[in-house]
Amino acid sequence: MSKPVLTIYFDGKCYLCSAEIEHYRKKPESGDFAFVDITHPAFDPQKEGLDPYAVHKVMHVRLQNGELVTAVDAFLNIWKNMPTYHTLYKVASLRALRPFLNLGYHSFAKIRPYLPQKQKGLCSDSPYCELPKVHR
């Protein structure tokens, strides 16, 4: 069996993340992608060569050549490999937009742990996705 074109690591407990991944899965061109839920009990980030804390903070995608890309670059590679999103890929790849895309993505990533979860337990099921302590 050949390596997937992309291996997409996603948070299966996050409603928004899961909805987006399901949207991609329904596209015929995603047939060559592997989707890995980082909240599944069988997921072992170290076996995948991933930092167990970093993979819970931002989206990770492994390219077919083994290179790991994260955050906005992860999405760009998904869109680049899906003809449906080729125009979005071209626009989002514009250098002038990158600071705005990075700001938007990292802002979302910071609040994501506080959003309603798809499954009970929030991060209690994972030793890695602890919510930051609020200082009073």
Strand order in the sheet with 33-37: 33-37, 6-10, 60-63, 68-70
pLDDT at residue 1 in the model: 59
Q: Note the pLDDT tens digit of each residue in 29-46.
A: 899 999 999 999 999 999
pLDDT at residue 67 in the model: 97
More confident residue, 127 or 29: 29
Please report, as a single letter, which amino acid is at residue 27: K
Give me the residue spans of the domains in the chain: 6-114
Residue 72: other Cβ atoms inside 10 A: 21
Nearest Cα residue to 116 out of 36, 24, 17: 17
Stated pTM of the model: 0.85
